[in-house]
Structure 1
Amino acid sequence: MLFSFLYLLFFTGNTEGVILSFRLEFPDRSFCYCLSLSSQISATNVVQKDAEFDVTYNDTVTSENQTIYAFNHTVSRNKTEGVRVTVDVLLNASESPILFVVRQKQAVLSFQVPLILRGLYQRKYPYNHIGRTLCQPPTVVASETQYFYVDVSTLSSLGTHYQLRVSRVESFTLQTNKKFSFTASPSQPQYFKYVFPEGEDTVIVKVTSDMNFPCSVMSIQDIQCPVYDLDNNVAFIGMYQTITKKGAITVQRKDFPLNSFYVVVVVKTEDEACGGPLRYYPLRPDELIDAGNRTKILDVIVSPAIKTEVYVMGMLFCLGIFLSFYVLTLMVACVHNKRVLKLLLYPVALISFDLIFQPGKTPASPYEYGSFADNGSTLSSEAITDSATSTDNNYGYLERSLDSAGRSRQESLSSVEEDDYDTLDDIDSDKNIVRTKKYLCVSDLVVNVTGNQDICYYNFLCAHPLGALSSFNNILSNVGYVMLGLLFLLIVLKRDITHNRALVRNDINALECGIPKHFGLFYAMGTALMMEGLLSACYHVCPNYTNFQFDTSFMYMIAGLCMLKLYQKRHPDINASAYTAYACLAGVIFFSVLGVVFGKGNMVFWIVFSVIHILATLLLSTQLYYMGRWRLDSGVLRRVVYIVYTDSIRQCSGPMYIDRMVLLVLGNIVNWSLAAYGLIKRPNDFASYLLAIAICNLLLYFAFYIIMKLRSGERIKYLALVIILFTAVVWGFALYFFFQGLSTWQKTPAESRDHNRDCILLSFFDDHDIWHFLSSIAMFGSFLVLLTMDDDLDTVQRDKIYVF
């Protein structure tokens, strides 16, 4: 009815003071369009011409005449051809533009020349050369002749010269796996039709270009009229994404009732959406800006997506990899149990041999193996070496007399068990005395975790959807964290049960030997690994800048728990309480959120954070160096000045704890360097920066622990050594795939897609999926290292185990 009314107004000339208003309703939005018709449009001379395809018509239009070009063409149901209208206005007609109206069956297309396209901040860009493809309504008969008309009119009383050409688009329908090249610009958008072939349910539409700019938009729209193919309306319906050099959208047949869709490519009027420069602001609101040459050459190719079998293979591959770790763990446990059974029989014979053939031998005192007296005396390096040599014998504890082996727990020099707390105040003063010893042993200590595809930063060239998930493969690959986290919990549970049984039967090794067994942090680490998998999967539902915290939160937790566990091994009495530990981790996550919200280029935030980072490093260094025996009160500065004066000025004496001092100096150098880097560079990815701080400190402390363990004459068992080497290799490969950078939300979505790459494993997984696989294995191996690297001390008296 609307178009009949328009036709009546045009051809009767009765348009005095008429204003026509109509509203178009869409599911998410509504728009009101008003068309004003004045008496000036009333044409005294209307000329209709029979026109032909591929003929250029040069003509002039004024307010006194109107030209109608009549076209007809044959439309076949089995063959789709595009029809394209191209218009050129040779003179500047911005004061009184020419209106072109294309009337066809079930559709009307209208545009003015020059075409004014608006950019950011309402900048206006005029275009005198226009090219538009006509919408092709489907036909129900095998073949029919369709008519369409091009009406040309203007309000200008002066003649305006124009050129009109209507041509057929022979390659309007895209073919599977066949690349097609074309040219587009803001005033000459392009779109093509694709029909799903039989047996094909999912395809990937890829648009590529050798040119970064101008910025463009690729859209997938249903077969309907009108087609939204301008910069100001391309985002109204369908799926779309901005592109520079690469773009890819996975399309499923179930989303398109006609088993076909349009691939629409529009070049934007400005490049800011793709990370390009911001154009200058116009001096006047009505100023027109020369857009320059914004023609772009692009290629489009539609290729089949993976089949269901590939999904199945991918899932089986994931399960197979991580179930193999369960099988391997079971095999190792079986071998270990057989070995333990042999060991249980061998000591009986050994004890009998000692009693029969060496009845007069006096067992060695623990102090003969290099322990230290309570007065702080130290041993020579030879004594330490002798001590280390004596502990190499796994059966050394059998050399003690039966009377010594039967000593009560209260009389032992070992650490008090976890449930034996000294609640008296003098425990602190005793600690102050013990802490002043140059060398410490564990026995000296008391034991006290929308259609807009620019929103999500996927690797679109390897994003396989499943149901509501746009990139199922990135989510599936996180299963390793969950499965290996669960396996680690089972291993810890087995060790916990074994240790408790040994305590119940008063096993001498469990009571008096080895690092005190506390499994609480191990349980927390296994749970954190599982949660890392779940939250990483949540992040990969729609990866972007704001929800990256999901992926990093438990990374902070894991790093913190690992550092706590490393420290707890040799310092069970001054380990942070659960409240303190998790309050600190909560503070880290809080700063991560602040960094995401305020960190981008905010100098004040970076200054505050760097100051807090440096102060926290100094406080922690003091805590570690003095083994917790210092106080943060009003007299701390006076004590610091006194120590500096007495130890550095009055006499040049070296630090009492050399090893700890080396660690802390290195740690402060690393942390101060990281703080300076953050303050100078102010990286956009604050979450990763914060994670880098945690990982650097963890690796530094872990290296220190291993070095000090070897320096103290301890050894690493073969199983632990194999796990360390295996984990280091896996970490190396994992980091290689992590730094491939298939996408990055630090750039615009279009720039991020330039990093997209095809799948490299089973046509289903990309580099980041392999990072998930390898990093989950590496983290599992790292946890096993923490769990097993002190197994060599399980038969060593605690008064022979050094604290560092």
Structure 2
Amino acid sequence: MMFLLSVRLYFFIIFNLFFFVKCNQLSVDSFDSIINPDIIIKNCTIGELCSGTINSTSIHYYSVQYSFNPITAIRLTTNMKYNVTQNAPILVVVRQIRGVVSWTLPYAFSNGMIYSSVTRILCIHNEVNRTRPHTSTVFIEISTSNVDLIDYSIQLDNTTEYLLETDVKQSFTISPATPVYYKFVFPSHINNIFIEVQSQDDLCAVVSVQSFDCPVYDVGEIGFRQGHYQTMSKSASFNVYSSEFTKRNEFLLVFLVKPTDADCLDYKETAIIQPAGVVDVERRKNITVILSSLSYSKYLYVTIFLTVGIYSLIYVFAFLIMCRQPDTYDRLAPDQLSLLEARTERELAEHQNNRQSLETSEGEENVIASRMNDYEREESAVEVIETSGTGFVTVNDLCTKDYEYLKQKFRIYPQTMITIAIFYSLPVIQLVLQYQINIDSIGNEDICYFNFLCARQFAMLAAFNNVFSNIGYCALGLLFFIIVYRR
């Protein structure tokens, strides 16, 4: 009996030791496989659907050769079989000569929106600064830290709808996980291009004009902060000049749908958190873009000279009326003029004698002077009634004051008007210049609330016509100032 118990205890101890050593070995092997995963090199060709299964024990490398052509681009589409129980995503890294781009599968946004498929256009045009066809290679790395196997697939295709031409409409579809960009090269005879983007959908998108360099920022918040950009729901427009791209006479036009419409609304919508397991939410936007080479510079000059000419004619017409209309003193009869001159001389003499005879303090002088002015006004009004000869007083009779007296009174008016003009115009000028500097420095054209379809750039102002439209207020205000001074 004791012997059997001893044998059982012996086998129990041996089994536990073996199980412990085996488990320890498995954990060590698993840890080593994560630290030093197996590298598997695979080949893939253009147009071929390459699929595989991966976990944390291996890394898959794809070497894809392609024939480079300046008028085409390479589109890479990556897919994975999403499972809500997965605790780690797949990392896709694309290595090129001029840059490295990467993204995860599934591709997740801040509001929880998840996409199991991501499509990117590879920036390969200027990787070696060539314009002739040649053969090149792109390397794609697929890896994950997930211990469970995940199915994935990749496919590279040539896209010929890559170059934009003037006066040719280009229609396409974009989504948050499928950004699109196009290239435009300035012809030698064109210095500026007007870009018009239209859509029938209300989804919020971002349109960005970027300099052509690799990598292209077309995914995430980085893509929203490159070059000049606008948010759009149904329309957007840009004025692009070749002088803005001194390095290369070309640029990229990047399109991307945002995960929510908050940036295109007057109010901030509440972010909708997607429930677990919901992937590939439909947010597709159809866009049409057209580039126009019509130069509006000559029309802008015509508009400027025509507007200035119209206001110049108004000035000439006003001056002719003022020159043909006699002065107030010229319209007075000789007897009225003699009475007015005599009364004015008497008033001035009395006023001078009173000022010399008053020797009081400064405050008392002001009080007395004010009372004397009131008395003079009353006396003048009585004399005007007596000299009018009609029995009643008109505004014209009350305005028959001495020129020097009116000139002294009028000096207060221009000083006040100039002060008000400076006080109100300087902040406006500062605001216009500050907004223009911000647009040129950070590229955010959403900070200006005007219609870009109607905006016309001139000199350093992106919307010169909006500023020039205020010339009427200035011209007519100055004319009113001159008329008041003349009277």
**Is 1:131 aligned to residue 100 of structure 2?**
no
Q: Which of 329, 334, 344 in structure 2 is aligned with 1:409?
A: 344
Mapped pair 1:91 → 2:27: no
Cα shift at 1:253? 1.5
For each residue in 1:558-601, what CA deviation from the matched residue of structure 2 results, as whole angstroms up to 9, or x when unmatched? xxxxxxxxxxxxxxxxxxxxxxxxxxxxxxxxxxxxxxxxxxxx
How far, CA to CA, are the matches of 1:227 and 1:133 in structure 2?
9
Check 1:170–1:416 CA distance in 2 against 1; reply closer, same or farther (3 A cut).
farther
Counterpart for residue 264 of structure 2:
274
Partner Cα distance (2:404, 2:197) in 1? 67
Q: Find out whether 1:758 has 2:473 as its counterpart.
A: no
- In the alignment, the residues of structure 2 paired with residue 212 and residue 751 of structure 1 have an alpha-carbon distance, to the nearest angstrom, of 21
1:128-167 to 2 correspondences below 5 Å: 128-138=116-126, 139-140=129-130, 142-167=132-157
Provide the secondary structure at the position in 1 that maps to 2:402: helix
2:254, 2:198 → 1: CA distance?
Answer: 13
TM-score (structure 2 length as normaliser): 0.69
Identity of aligned residues (%): 19
Kindly indicate whether the alpha-carbon contact (under 8 Å) linking 2:107 and 2:118 is maintained by their aligned counterparts in 1.
yes
Q: CA deviation at 1:311?
A: 5.4
Within 5 A, what are the aligned runs for 1:171-320? 171-213=161-203, 215-256=204-245, 257-275=247-265, 276-280=267-271, 292-304=281-293, 306=295, 309-310=298-299, 312-317=301-306, 319-320=308-309
Higher share of residues assigned strand:
2
Preserved contact between residue 415 and residue 516 of structure 1 (Cα < 8 Å): no
Offset, 1:91? 1.9
Q: Summarize the Cα distance change of 1:252–1:767 in structure 2 as closer, same or farther, 3 Å threshold.
A: closer
Q: What is the CA deviation profile of residues 223-274 of structure 1, one whole-angstrom value per residue up to 9, with x for unaligned ones? A: 2111111122114542223333332232222232121111112222333333
Task: Give the Cα separation in 2 of the matches to 1:434 and 1:333.
Answer: 31
2:477 maps to a residue whose letter is M
Provide the TM-score with structure 1 as the length reference.
0.44
102, 112, 115: which one pairs with 2:104? 112
Distance in 1, Cα, partners of 2:379 & 2:81: 93
User: CA separation of 1:198/1:74 partners in 2, compared to 1, >3 Å: closer, same or farther?
Assistant: same
Q: Which residue of 2 aligns with 1:101?
A: 93
Counterpart code for 2:365: T
1:540 aligns with 432
Native 8 Å contact 1:414 1:512 kept in 2: no
Matches for 1:501-580 after TM superposition, within 5 Å: 509-511=400-402, 518-524=409-415, 527=418, 531=422, 536-543=428-435
Query: Which one-letter code corresponds to 2:171 in the other structure?
Result: S
Provide the rounded CA distance (Å) in 2 between the counterparts of 1:146 and 1:518. 85
Distance change (3 Å), C-alpha of 1:136 and 1:425: same
Closer, same or farther: CA 433–291 of 1 in aligned 2, 3 Å: farther
Q: Call closer, same or farther: CA 1:289–1:787 in 2, change over 3 Å.
A: farther
Output the CA distance in 1 between the equivalents of 2:272 and 2:200.
Answer: 29
Deviation at 1:191, TM superposition (A): 1.0
Q: Give the aligned partner of residue 677 of structure 1.
A: none
Counterparts of 2:463 and 2:449 in 1: how far apart (Å)? 19
CA distance in 2, matches of 1:324, 1:772: 18
Question: How far does residue 134 in structure 1 lie from its aligned partner after superposition?
Answer: 0.4
Q: 1:340 to 1:154 in 2, by over 3 A?
A: closer
CA distance in 2, matches of 1:524, 1:432: 24
Distance 1:260 1:288, change over 3 A: farther
Q: Which residue of 1 aligns with 2:334?
A: 398
Q: Is contact 2:196–2:237 with CA below 8 Å preserved after alignment? A: yes
Deviation sequence 1:286-320 (CA, Å, 0-9, x none): 99997943322222222236365455545544554
Distance 1:203 1:280, change over 3 A: closer
Alignment match, 1:775: 473
How far 1:133 moved relative to its partner? 0.9
Q: 1:154 to 1:415 in 2, by over 3 A?
A: farther
Aligned with 1:233: secondary structure? helix
1:623-772 → structure 2 map (5 Å cutoff) = 749=446, 752=449, 755-758=451-454, 768-769=466-467, 771-772=469-470
Take 1:768 and 1:433, find their aligned partners in 2: how far apart are those partners?
Answer: 53
Does the CA-based 8 Å contact 1:414-1:443 persist in structure 2? no
| CA displacement at 1:132 relative to structure 2 | 0.8
Q: Distance in 1 between matches of 2:404 and 2:38?
A: 110
User: Could you say which residue in structure 2 is the equivalent of 1:553?
Assistant: none
Letter in 2 for 1:749: D
Change (3 A) 1:141 1:202: closer
- Over 3 Å counting, the alpha-carbon distance change for 1:133 and 1:424 in structure 2 is closer
Q: Structure 2 stretches of 5 or more lacking a match?
A: 1-30, 359-363, 383-398, 439-443
Q: Which runs of 5+ in 1 are unaligned?
A: 1-36, 345-393, 445-507, 547-744, 792-804
Q: Distance in 1 between matches of 2:463 and 2:271?
A: 44
1:74 aligns with 2:67: yes
Q: Is the 8 A contact 2:80 2:117 kept in 1?
A: yes
Q: Who is 1:738 aligned against?
A: none
